Amino acid sequence: MTLPAQTDTAPAVPALRAALWMLGAIGCFLTMAVAGRVLAAELDTFEIMTWRSLTGVVIICLVITARSAWGQVSTHRFGLHVLRNVAHFTGQNLWFYAITVIPLAQVFALEFTSPLWVLMLSPLLLGERMTRRRMLSGLVGFAGILLITRPGAQALSPGLIAAALCAIGFAGTIMSTKRLTRDVSTMNILFWLTVMQAVFGLVCGGIDGDFAHPSAALWPAAVLVGVAGLAAHFCVTTALSIAPASIVAPMDFLRLPAAAVLGLLVYGEALDPLVLIGAAVIFGANYANIRGERRA
């Protein structure tokens, strides 16, 4: 009687642990959005990114030192590091702008299109084969985008455009990360991520000769953005190391209703049923493709 019980419950343990990590990730992403909105009162997106990245540089350097892992930091694949971080810096700046001008639910819904852009662009950039399933998933996901943006029925505001474009930037990050992880350590990737983002932020934020820093009241928010950003990526990575993507992906989708509720309670943002339906369509396309890839 003992053996069947172990067989039934064992698979649930990794899923439960992954769920707890994903709850942490969701909390971190929402925290970063709220802190970003607070900082937007005084800083532009370049400046927000700079302070976020400088916080990350301090944390990563402390972690590398504690682990005696400085030997892992190198300039191997440096050009690919640059391309990855240009894509991420662009996407993250667009994301920070979008969360200040449109409802949080719309931003998070359009952000979920990143995996679909990976599907469409990976044959061109990674040489992967475009299958019928991938093509169908991309078309269904595009239908979800149309439900959220509703071109013609509502004006395509700069915020909506920024949220849609940030997903393409994040897709570029995903694809370049996939190439880097073939022969580059995670610690090395994170080191160059924080350092390059800080440099990009300083250059872009100071190009007009007026680089602002947070007031004393907003310093906690500036630190919180950096800590929450790194913690979110750590939580997601840990969850994926515990359970398959087909289990983790549905958990990540909880970010959308959580963002919708947060926007309603904190900012008085109305719940738009079409945004939720469109996001569900995008999620369904992503999830169907993940399940199909796993079976293949």
pLDDT per position as a tens digit, 173-231: 888 887 887 888 888 888 998 999 999 999 998 887 788 888 999 999 999 998 998 88
Q: Which helix (H) or strand (E) holds 153?
A: none
Q: Domain limits of the chain?
A: 77-208+215-295
Is-contact 144 282, C-beta < 8 A? yes
Residue with tokens 């007009």: 208
pTM: 0.81
Burial 92-108, CB ≥16 within 10 A → b, else e = bbbbbbbbbebbbbbbb
Rounded CA gap, 249 and 18, in Å? 11
Q: What's the pLDDT at 290?
A: 72
**Percent of the chain whose pLDDT exceeds 70:** 91
Please give the mean pLDDT across all residues of the chain: 84
- 286 falls in which pLDDT band (50, 70, 90)? confident
For residues 190 and 98, the model is more confident at 98
Is a pLDDT exceeding 60 seen at residue 155?
Answer: yes
Give me the phi and psi of 151, to 5 degrees please.
-60, 135
Q: Give the Cβ contact number of residue 234 at 10 Å.
A: 17
Q: What is the pLDDT of residue 296?
A: 62
Residue 86: exposure state from Cβ atoms within 10 A (0-12, 13-18, ≥19): middle
Q: Does residue 285 contact residue 138 with C-beta atoms inside 8 Å?
A: yes
